[in-house]
Amino acid sequence: GAGVSQSPRYKVAKRGQDVALRCDPISGHVSLFWYQQALGQGPEFLTYFQNEAQLDKSGLPSDRFFAERPEGSVSTLKIQRTQQEDSAVYLCASRKTQGEQFFGPGTRLTVL
């Protein structure tokens, strides 16, 4: 497809479970971003990749959050031992090098 895709669209996890969220960026886009969007709020930055290098992870809220992009294309955001406060929509975005970011549809994570 032409846009950014994310899977799954919805994920329900029991507290303490590990989850993995996938992002397929637009082909050829060098930069990839993960955001967390709490209900009724704007997206908040989590981490940034340039190709396979994670250049900024300052927004990750705890060491339970881990992201990777091993081949500079698909990225996975992993959350270990999920907590209720992790419930949010997780957005992925990509861009060529500068300027506009193109967003995926997001994954809504609900932790029970």
Classify residue 56 as left (phi > 0), alpha (psi -120 to 50) or beta.
beta
Question: Among residues 33 and 65, whose Cβ is nearest to other proteins?
Answer: 33
Question: Among residues 25 and 106, whose Cβ is nearest to other proteins?
Answer: 106
User: Given the DSSP bridges, would you call strands 10-13 and 107-111 parallel, antiparallel or unpaired?
Assistant: parallel
Residues that bind other proteins (CB under 8 A): 31, 33, 40-45, 48, 50, 55-56, 59, 89, 91, 93, 99-106, 108
Question: Among residues 81 and 96, whose Cβ is nearest to other proteins?
Answer: 96
Question: Among residues 60 and 79, whose Cβ is nearest to other proteins?
Answer: 60
Helical (H) or strand (E) element with 14: none
Q: How far is the CB of 80 from other proteins (least distance, A)?
A: 23
Secondary structure of residue 96 in the 3-state scheme: coil
Q: How far is the CB of 34 from other proteins (least distance, A)?
A: 10
Closest CA to 33 of 18, 44, 19, 17: 44
Both tokens assigned to 46: 């989590």
Q: How far is the CB of 1 from other proteins (least distance, A)?
A: 12
